[in-house]
Structure 1
């Protein structure tokens, strides 16, 4: 139920949809006795469209998420036991119809998995991704990922494919169950999590809450860093999409925290103190230790 509600609500609440509805509703009112309000709505929508589409607002929203988790140290001991790759890098609807790999702008998730698999040939690659479509159904992302990764040179017995998860919460829960069945968790096991940098805070919080200890390996960066805080977009569509992506993550962080699917409102690296992590009361790390080194200010 959570999955379906989240899909529908986000379609209605995402900034691009709200702006379109504001302009559309105002356009209708202009032809009624509420013309003055109609012009106000249209004007407000136009201003928001320009601000969201051309200003650096999207970069300002996404940058704190991308910078939240640095990459872990690959040289630390023990060597990685495996790499967890989250779905979201494929368009399976098109890929299934065309019979060809169809990576989207998050394709670095797959590329990094292939690179790391070559660096650590003894490590497993655990991919989690099902079919998250509502109106249009396709096969699972895991099916496409398995085919692509083997074509990139990864041995089939090096892969662990989980094909039922539809969101980040299910990624963590289903994958933990699969890895436990294989005896791939426990002392001496070290798993790294590969996902988009802006998505890493929410993913880390969910995996911690599920009791699956992972280390971050963020990819798919959308900004260069602070320099992009003053960089406007040259296409309204690109800026608006950046705002949508960032807003979705911030709303997702709050929704997952409120629904007890994440251990913190804004998860942070446990080895450093990056400020208040707003830990949900009672949340704990796998093994029973506190979920975060910081607590809300009193």
Structure 2
């Protein structure tokens, strides 16, 4: 199911979807009305997804649900940083191996750690077989580079997705409250998943991508933001479908 949902979701991402529409246009090129409608649809999609309109339609509804968290935590606190990816360029430091999203999450996690005392610092992320080591290991090493004591770090190197991160965290510390650090677009889905597992997350969103821009400007960063937001909406839809199926089977 893990790989199946990954593969299916790709067909709903902006770029693969545009390619599919163009391919269907080529196959039905003799049908002029269909071809014209497909080309018009493709152009309209690109104009919307690559423009600031996408922020209003897709990104802002996700990122506006939770604000930055500057409150100190109680004693014996836990900071959980959700994983996001890295490369295997061993000539780079661990922080330089992290993806931009993973680095943004880690930096916010360090900030949250320093807001309080006696915190545990939890990092997660598996090795899908294409890397030299797990994402959790790279995140832990990068955290040490940024000043987190190694004896305060816990790793969850087997967690493949957010749901498994919730499962492993519950095994690690039970149902105690914790500070959840992830991207602002991902936070609504992450909060829902952790709460469903009986956990008590305190949101600390980061990696905000809703940035102002000229209304007429088409940019690659807007297209990337649209793709990330659409990925989250698909994830939320899948989460609700699973919840309904589980409720009906109980």
Both proteins in one fold, TM over 0.5: yes
User: Which runs of at least 4 in structure 1 moved beyond 4 Å after TM superposition?
Assistant: 96-99
2:186 is paired with a residue of what secondary structure?
A: helix
* Cα distance, 1:204–1:153 mapped onto 2, change above 3 Å: same
1:260 is paired with a residue of what secondary structure?
A: helix
1:203 aligns with one of 187, 190, 196: 190
CA distance in 2, matches of 1:138, 1:146: 15
Matched with 2:238 is: 255
Which structure features the higher share of helix residues? Answer: 2
Report matched runs for 1:50-65 at 5 Å.
Answer: 50-65=47-62
Structure with higher RCO (Cα < 8 A, 6+ apart):
2
Matched with 2:82 is: 86
Contact 1:59 1:242 in 2 (8 A): no
In the TM superposition, what whole-angstrom CA distance separates every residue of 1:207-243 from its partner, at most 9, and x where no partner exists? 111112111111111125xxx4x85374442222121
Which segment is superposed worse, 66-75 or 165-174? 66-75
**Could you say what the CA RMSD is over the residues aligned between the two structures, in angstroms?**
2.9
In the TM superposition, what whole-angstrom CA distance separates every residue of 1:23-53 from its partner, at most 9, and x where no partner exists? 23213432xx334422331232122212221
Query: Which 5+ residue runs of structure 2 have no aligned equivalent?
Result: none
* Cα distance, 1:52–1:119 mapped onto 2, change above 3 Å: closer
2:112 aligns with one of 112, 116, 120: 116
* Cα distance, 1:210–1:132 mapped onto 2, change above 3 Å: farther
2:65 is paired with a residue of what secondary structure?
A: coil
CA distance in 1, matches of 2:137, 2:108: 18
Query: Which 5+ residue runs of structure 1 have no aligned equivalent?
Result: 264-279, 284-298
TM superposition shift of 1:146: 1.0
1:143 aligns with one of 137, 158, 166: 137
In the TM superposition, what whole-angstrom CA distance separates every residue of 1:131-173 from its partner, at most 9, and x where no partner exists? 357xx45521101101111111111110000001111111111
Report matched runs for 1:40-51 at 5 Å.
Answer: 40-51=37-48
Taking structure 2 as the reference length, the TM-score comes to: 0.86
TM superposition shift of 1:257: 1.6
Contact 2:25 2:35 in 1 (8 A): yes
